[in-house]
Amino acid sequence: MFEQDALAYGFDALEPYIDTLTMETHYGKHHKTYTTNFNAAVEKAGLEGKTVEEILGSLDEVSDTATRNALRNNGGGFYNHNLYFGIMSPEPAETPTGALAEAIERDFGGVDALKEQLTALAVGQFGSGWAWLSTDADGKLVATNSANQDNPISLGEGTTPILGIDVWEHAYYLKHKNVRPDYVADFFKVLDWDKVAERYEAATQ
Ligand code: MN3
Protein backbone atom coordinates (compact mmCIF):
# COMPACT_ATOMS: atom_id res chain seq x y z
CA MET A 1 0.00 0.00 0.00
CA PHE A 2 1.29 3.39 -0.97
CA GLU A 3 0.60 6.19 1.51
CA GLN A 4 0.93 9.94 1.21
CA ASP A 5 4.05 11.29 2.91
CA ALA A 6 3.00 13.11 6.08
CA LEU A 7 3.09 16.90 5.76
CA ALA A 8 5.96 18.34 7.79
CA TYR A 9 3.98 21.57 8.41
CA GLY A 10 0.39 22.66 8.95
CA PHE A 11 -2.06 23.51 6.18
CA ASP A 12 -1.80 27.20 7.13
CA ALA A 13 2.00 27.24 7.50
CA LEU A 14 2.81 28.45 3.97
CA GLU A 15 0.56 31.53 4.20
CA PRO A 16 0.47 34.03 2.62
CA TYR A 17 2.20 32.41 -0.35
CA ILE A 18 0.21 29.16 -0.55
CA ASP A 19 -3.18 29.59 1.14
CA THR A 20 -4.74 27.29 3.72
CA LEU A 21 -7.80 26.24 1.69
CA THR A 22 -5.62 25.33 -1.29
CA MET A 23 -3.36 23.23 0.94
CA GLU A 24 -6.33 21.47 2.58
CA THR A 25 -7.90 20.68 -0.79
CA HIS A 26 -4.68 19.88 -2.63
CA TYR A 27 -3.19 17.53 -0.01
CA GLY A 28 -6.43 16.32 1.58
CA LYS A 29 -8.47 15.72 -1.61
CA HIS A 30 -6.40 15.74 -4.80
CA HIS A 31 -3.29 13.97 -3.51
CA LYS A 32 -5.40 11.60 -1.44
CA THR A 33 -7.47 10.62 -4.49
CA TYR A 34 -4.38 10.02 -6.65
CA THR A 35 -3.03 7.78 -3.90
CA THR A 36 -6.26 5.78 -3.55
CA ASN A 37 -6.57 5.32 -7.31
CA PHE A 38 -2.89 4.42 -7.67
CA ASN A 39 -3.24 1.66 -5.08
CA ALA A 40 -6.26 0.28 -6.95
CA ALA A 41 -4.36 0.33 -10.26
CA VAL A 42 -1.30 -1.33 -8.71
CA GLU A 43 -3.50 -4.13 -7.40
CA LYS A 44 -5.25 -4.52 -10.75
CA ALA A 45 -1.90 -4.71 -12.55
CA GLY A 46 -0.46 -7.16 -10.01
CA LEU A 47 2.47 -4.83 -9.27
CA GLU A 48 2.36 -5.00 -5.45
CA GLY A 49 5.87 -4.91 -4.01
CA LYS A 50 7.30 -2.67 -6.75
CA THR A 51 8.41 0.86 -5.87
CA VAL A 52 6.63 3.80 -7.46
CA GLU A 53 9.86 4.62 -9.30
CA GLU A 54 9.97 1.08 -10.74
CA ILE A 55 6.35 1.33 -11.84
CA LEU A 56 6.70 4.78 -13.45
CA GLY A 57 9.92 3.65 -15.12
CA SER A 58 8.37 0.60 -16.78
CA LEU A 59 4.89 1.67 -17.88
CA ASP A 60 5.58 0.19 -21.34
CA GLU A 61 5.46 -3.27 -19.79
CA VAL A 62 1.78 -2.88 -18.85
CA SER A 63 -0.14 -4.11 -21.89
CA ASP A 64 -3.68 -3.09 -20.92
CA THR A 65 -4.13 0.53 -22.01
CA ALA A 66 -6.62 1.55 -19.32
CA THR A 67 -4.48 0.07 -16.53
CA ARG A 68 -1.32 1.64 -17.97
CA ASN A 69 -3.00 5.05 -18.11
CA ALA A 70 -4.32 4.64 -14.56
CA LEU A 71 -0.77 3.86 -13.33
CA ARG A 72 0.71 6.74 -15.31
CA ASN A 73 -1.80 9.36 -14.15
CA ASN A 74 -2.31 8.24 -10.56
CA GLY A 75 1.22 6.94 -9.96
CA GLY A 76 2.48 10.27 -11.28
CA GLY A 77 -0.04 12.10 -9.10
CA PHE A 78 1.09 10.13 -6.05
CA TYR A 79 4.83 10.60 -6.63
CA ASN A 80 4.72 14.18 -7.92
CA HIS A 81 2.77 15.50 -4.95
CA ASN A 82 4.99 13.75 -2.40
CA LEU A 83 7.88 15.57 -4.08
CA TYR A 84 6.05 18.93 -4.27
CA PHE A 85 4.78 19.02 -0.68
CA GLY A 86 8.12 17.69 0.56
CA ILE A 87 10.25 20.51 -0.86
CA MET A 88 8.18 23.39 0.51
CA SER A 89 8.66 24.73 4.02
CA PRO A 90 7.53 27.66 6.18
CA GLU A 91 11.21 28.19 7.06
CA PRO A 92 12.94 27.44 3.77
CA ALA A 93 16.65 27.53 3.02
CA GLU A 94 16.53 30.40 0.56
CA THR A 95 19.53 29.46 -1.56
CA PRO A 96 21.18 26.21 -2.61
CA THR A 97 24.47 25.27 -0.98
CA GLY A 98 27.16 22.60 -1.38
CA ALA A 99 27.21 20.15 -4.29
CA LEU A 100 23.79 21.27 -5.55
CA ALA A 101 24.90 24.91 -5.70
CA GLU A 102 28.02 23.88 -7.64
CA ALA A 103 25.96 21.82 -10.10
CA ILE A 104 23.50 24.71 -10.63
CA GLU A 105 26.41 27.06 -11.29
CA ARG A 106 27.96 24.53 -13.71
CA ASP A 107 24.79 23.68 -15.64
CA PHE A 108 22.79 26.95 -15.51
CA GLY A 109 25.27 29.68 -14.57
CA GLY A 110 23.65 30.30 -11.18
CA VAL A 111 20.43 30.00 -9.24
CA ASP A 112 18.87 33.17 -10.67
CA ALA A 113 19.24 31.85 -14.22
CA LEU A 114 17.84 28.48 -13.13
CA LYS A 115 14.81 30.13 -11.51
CA GLU A 116 14.23 32.12 -14.69
CA GLN A 117 14.26 28.94 -16.77
CA LEU A 118 11.98 27.05 -14.38
CA THR A 119 9.58 30.00 -14.26
CA ALA A 120 9.42 30.14 -18.07
CA LEU A 121 8.77 26.38 -18.22
CA ALA A 122 6.10 26.57 -15.50
CA VAL A 123 4.32 29.57 -17.02
CA GLY A 124 4.70 28.21 -20.56
CA GLN A 125 3.28 24.75 -19.86
CA PHE A 126 0.00 24.78 -21.81
CA GLY A 127 -2.81 23.49 -19.60
CA SER A 128 -2.17 21.26 -16.61
CA GLY A 129 1.29 19.93 -15.87
CA TRP A 130 4.58 20.40 -14.10
CA ALA A 131 7.95 22.11 -14.39
CA TRP A 132 10.90 20.01 -13.28
CA LEU A 133 14.51 20.18 -12.24
CA SER A 134 16.05 16.72 -12.64
CA THR A 135 19.37 14.96 -12.77
CA ASP A 136 20.03 12.95 -15.91
CA ALA A 137 21.92 9.65 -16.13
CA ASP A 138 25.26 11.52 -16.18
CA GLY A 139 24.42 13.63 -13.11
CA LYS A 140 23.80 16.75 -15.18
CA LEU A 141 20.91 19.00 -14.11
CA VAL A 142 18.13 19.51 -16.65
CA ALA A 143 15.03 21.73 -16.56
CA THR A 144 11.92 20.50 -18.39
CA ASN A 145 8.14 20.59 -18.26
CA SER A 146 5.48 17.97 -18.87
CA ALA A 147 1.72 17.65 -19.26
CA ASN A 148 -0.79 16.14 -16.83
CA GLN A 149 0.91 14.02 -14.12
CA ASP A 150 3.67 12.72 -16.41
CA ASN A 151 6.95 12.29 -14.53
CA PRO A 152 10.48 12.48 -15.99
CA ILE A 153 11.17 8.97 -14.64
CA SER A 154 8.82 7.58 -17.30
CA LEU A 155 11.12 8.85 -20.07
CA GLY A 156 13.32 5.85 -19.22
CA GLU A 157 16.54 7.82 -19.62
CA GLY A 158 17.78 7.58 -16.05
CA THR A 159 16.28 10.95 -15.19
CA THR A 160 15.33 11.68 -11.56
CA PRO A 161 13.31 14.78 -10.62
CA ILE A 162 14.55 16.69 -7.56
CA LEU A 163 12.27 19.76 -7.79
CA GLY A 164 8.73 19.92 -9.19
CA ILE A 165 6.36 22.87 -9.59
CA ASP A 166 2.70 21.87 -9.87
CA VAL A 167 1.00 24.18 -12.36
CA TRP A 168 -2.42 22.54 -12.35
CA GLU A 169 -5.01 25.22 -11.60
CA HIS A 170 -5.97 23.33 -8.40
CA ALA A 171 -2.52 24.28 -7.05
CA TYR A 172 -3.17 28.03 -7.20
CA TYR A 173 -6.55 29.10 -8.57
CA LEU A 174 -8.27 29.79 -5.21
CA LYS A 175 -5.66 32.41 -4.34
CA HIS A 176 -3.88 33.47 -7.51
CA LYS A 177 -6.83 33.01 -9.91
CA ASN A 178 -5.58 33.04 -13.49
CA VAL A 179 -2.23 34.66 -12.67
CA ARG A 180 0.10 31.66 -12.81
CA PRO A 181 3.30 33.78 -12.79
CA ASP A 182 2.38 35.19 -9.35
CA TYR A 183 1.88 31.65 -8.02
CA VAL A 184 5.25 30.53 -9.38
CA ALA A 185 6.94 33.53 -7.76
CA ASP A 186 5.20 32.67 -4.46
CA PHE A 187 6.22 29.00 -4.78
CA PHE A 188 9.87 30.04 -4.84
CA LYS A 189 9.34 31.95 -1.56
CA VAL A 190 8.51 28.68 0.23
CA LEU A 191 10.85 26.39 -1.73
CA ASP A 192 13.36 24.82 0.69
CA TRP A 193 16.62 24.41 -1.22
CA ASP A 194 17.97 22.13 1.53
CA LYS A 195 15.24 19.61 0.64
CA VAL A 196 16.16 19.86 -3.03
CA ALA A 197 19.82 19.34 -2.09
CA GLU A 198 18.93 16.18 -0.13
CA ARG A 199 17.20 14.80 -3.22
CA TYR A 200 20.11 15.80 -5.43
CA GLU A 201 22.56 13.98 -3.16
CA ALA A 202 20.35 10.87 -3.04
CA ALA A 203 19.99 10.87 -6.83
CA THR A 204 23.69 11.31 -7.58
CA GLN A 205 25.40 9.26 -4.89
MN1 MN3 B 1 -1.62 19.04 -7.81
Domains, the chain = 20-86 (1.10.287.990), 98-203 (3.55.40.20)
Q: Closest by alpha carbon to 128, among 89, 82, 57, 76?
A: 76
For residues 43 and 127, what is the distance between their CA atoms, to the nearest angstrom? Answer: 30
Ligand 1 geometric centre to CA of 166 (Å): 6
Q: What is the pTM of this model?
A: 0.97
Decide: helix, strand or coil at residue 165: strand
Ligand 1 geometric centre to CA of 175 (Å): 14
For the cut 90, the answer to whether the pLDDT of residue 107 exceeds it is yes
Ligand 1 geometric centre to CA of 170 (Å): 6
**What is residue 6's predicted lDDT score, i.e. its pLDDT?**
98
DSSP 20-36: HHHHHHIIIIIIHHHHH
Q: What is the arithmetic mean of pLDDT over 70-97?
A: 98
Ligand 1 geometric centre to CA of 148 (Å): 10
What pLDDT band is residue 153 in, cutting at 50, 70 and 90? very high
Ligand 1 geometric centre to CA of 26 (Å): 6
**What is residue 150's predicted lDDT score, i.e. its pLDDT?**
97
Give alpha helix (H) positions in 74-152. 76-86, 98-108, 111-124
Q: Closest by alpha carbon to 134, among 108, 164, 105, 102?
A: 164
What pLDDT band is residue 5 in, cutting at 50, 70 and 90? very high
Q: What is the arithmetic mean of pLDDT over 14-43?
A: 98
For the cut 90, the answer to whether the pLDDT of residue 157 exceeds it is no
**What is residue 156's predicted lDDT score, i.e. its pLDDT?**
85
